[in-house]
Structure 1
Amino acid sequence: MIVPSFKSVPWKILERRGLACFLFCFAGPLGFALVCFLILSEYSLTILFMVDGRLNSEERKAQIISAVIPLFANLGFKETTTKLIAEKCGVSEALVYKHFPRKEDIYTEIHKFCCDKSQDDKNELTNMEPSTQSLVMIIFTIVYSIYMNIEKDPEEAKNFKRLMFRSLLEEGDFAASFHKSHFEPWIPKIEKCIEAAVKSGDINATISPRLSIYFTHHIAVCLNLYSLPNQTVVNYEKEKEEIANEAILFALRGLGLSSQAIQQYYNPNTLLSFFKKYK
């Protein structure tokens, strides 16, 4: 708890103490009691404001990042000014600059924030042995995590995806940086899974494994892009979960998986249970 020093007490309160003494002498105890009540009320509110209004450096940074993600997502990097950021946070521009000297520093921190939040569900997948089963699991996870928005905070997830698309429309730095740190580390693992599936006879490789991985990713991204508006843009005549399952099957066939391998390893309910467990 913050205990205000003598210097932190507003001088107007001290001036009113003189008024209280005057009223005690000339207006009697009732007037004195009234002014004392007003003084104590004002002082209590001052203390409350001081306690609630002060955040440490990390808390203030987190507040700014949380407030600025929707701004960048909806307005883009160029149109989001430090003035807008300050207004959204309810602080001065000087305070924003104190924690983030440049607007680019905020973008960097957002990238770190998004990567940290998305890292946990990867670890279990990257530790799996390369196999056809692991390949199916990873493809399912890619499509579901990008398209289905199964998140604790769906609005936050949508804002992040808008950030990605905004970046692609502008300079591309945020999208490239996130893609490099978040998706590219999966590629060697998926390539090993494809190799294992080829060796086991589950895949008849027809195109570059790396290209097939990117095409799978792009299918999920495009589906997600069309699902961002509140209104229906494309009427698929199917529920979202059905669309996701069809897209996964499309990707698995595109990778070259045989019908027998798909029938053996693709069980949506089992895969979804695994996905939710590590999400």
Structure 2
Amino acid sequence: MKKRYSKQQRRTMILEAALICFAHKGYNGTTTKDIATQADVSEALLYKHFPNKMAIYAAINDFCIEEGSEVGSIVLKQKNSIFAFISSVYFLMYVVVFATPLKRKYKGISHRLFVYSILEDGQLIEKFHHSSVLPCIQAIRQYYKYLKSQNHITETTAAVDNLIWCVYSVAAMMTIFDLSDKELAFEGSIKNSFHDAVIFALRGLGLKEQVIRDHYEPQQLQDYIEDLFSQNSAV
């Protein structure tokens, strides 16, 4: 006898199945039959929850982005400080490289989905950019200006928004290399490489070396971000 699921549970199962299918075949290569098979439901039942494939894809957009956006709204609305600057840079890179706790169980599935989005219509990556990346850029820019006024930033002719975009690009490339089962780029685990990448990013943004030494505490930052996700999921 098959287990009975609530309407919401069925909907979530279909979205999780769609996430896997879209990540491995892309939007164009996935059919509603593929999704129904992956979710172990009939196509008829699938259509009771979603009228078509596009509706599923639109729901996936929210499914992939909502969790990180809620925590990000806390991280990115701190008072001006060295910790606010460092934690916002850390958050941007952390969410890109490791994904949010809810998505992490799919082991790279959401990252593959973003890559397919870039290659296809770009809707998912564009929504992620506007809902998650742009707020990070705006917050980091604000904290950057404050730290510069406090003489914690090295003078540069580079535009700060371009520097922040480079930070995002480094994190994005780390995720792409990590999609392979082979060790293509990192010595040791990606977790260890990640901390070096954050230091690289902070230096690239012009944060002075002594400030980094005095204030960059990777374990404290990781605990801070993970605690925020835990509190958010408990609400």
Q: TM-score range by the shorter chain?
A: 0.7 to 0.9
Counterpart of 1:229, as a letter, is S
**Structure 1: tracts of 5 or more residues without a match:** 1-47
Equivalent residue number for residue 159 of structure 2: 208
1:241 corresponds, among 177, 191, 196, to 191
The alpha-carbon distance between structure 1 residues 61 and 241, as it changes in their structure 2 partners (threshold 3 A), is: closer
- If asked which structure has higher relative contact order (CA below 8 Å, sep 6+), I would say 2
Q: How far has the Cα of 1:132 moved from its partner?
A: 2.6
The structure with the larger Rg is 1
2:180 & 2:105 partners in 1: Cα distance? Answer: 12
Deviating 4+ runs (over 4 angstroms): none
Deviations 1:189-217 (A, max 9, x none): 11110110110001134211111111111
Counterpart of 1:220, as a letter, is A
Q: Are residue 228 (structure 1) and residue 179 (structure 2) matched?
A: yes
Counterpart of 1:203, as a letter, is I
Deviations 1:87-114 (A, max 9, x none): 2223332332232112111011011112
2:160 & 2:9 partners in 1: Cα distance? Answer: 44
- Superposed, 1:8-47 pairs within 5 Å as none
Equivalent residue number for residue 21 of structure 1: none
Q: Secondary structure at the match of 1:76?
A: helix
User: Once the two structures are aligned, what percentage of the paired residues are identical?
Assistant: 27
**How many residues in Structure 1 have an aligned counterpart in Structure 2?**
228
Equivalent residue number for residue 101 of structure 2: 151
Q: Are residue 218 (structure 1) and residue 169 (structure 2) matched?
A: yes
1:58 & 1:153 partners in 2: Cα distance? Answer: 18
Deviations 1:16-66 (A, max 9, x none): xxxxxxxxxxxxxxxxxxxxxxxxxxxxxxxx66xx44x454333222112
Please say which of residues 121-130 and 108-117 is displaced more in the overlay.
121-130
2:103 & 2:123 partners in 1: Cα distance? Answer: 25
1:255 corresponds, among 175, 200, 205, to 205
Q: How far has the Cα of 1:152 moved from its partner?
A: 5.7
2:103 & 2:142 partners in 1: Cα distance? Answer: 33
- Superposed, 1:160-239 pairs within 5 Å as 160-206=110-156, 207-234=158-185, 236-239=186-189
The alpha-carbon distance between structure 1 residues 270 and 87, as it changes in their structure 2 partners (threshold 3 A), is: closer
What RMSD, in angstroms, separates the aligned Cα atoms of the two structures?
2.1
1:263 & 1:201 partners in 2: Cα distance? Answer: 16
The alpha-carbon distance between structure 1 residues 107 and 83, as it changes in their structure 2 partners (threshold 3 A), is: same
1:113 & 1:130 partners in 2: Cα distance? Answer: 31
Counterpart of 2:28, as a letter, is K
Q: Secondary structure at the match of 1:70?
A: helix
Q: How far has the Cα of 1:168 moved from its partner?
A: 0.9
TM-score w.r.t. the length of structure 2 is: 0.88
Counterpart of 2:138, as a letter, is P
**Structure 2: tracts of 5 or more residues without a match:** 230-235
TM-score w.r.t. the length of structure 1 is: 0.75
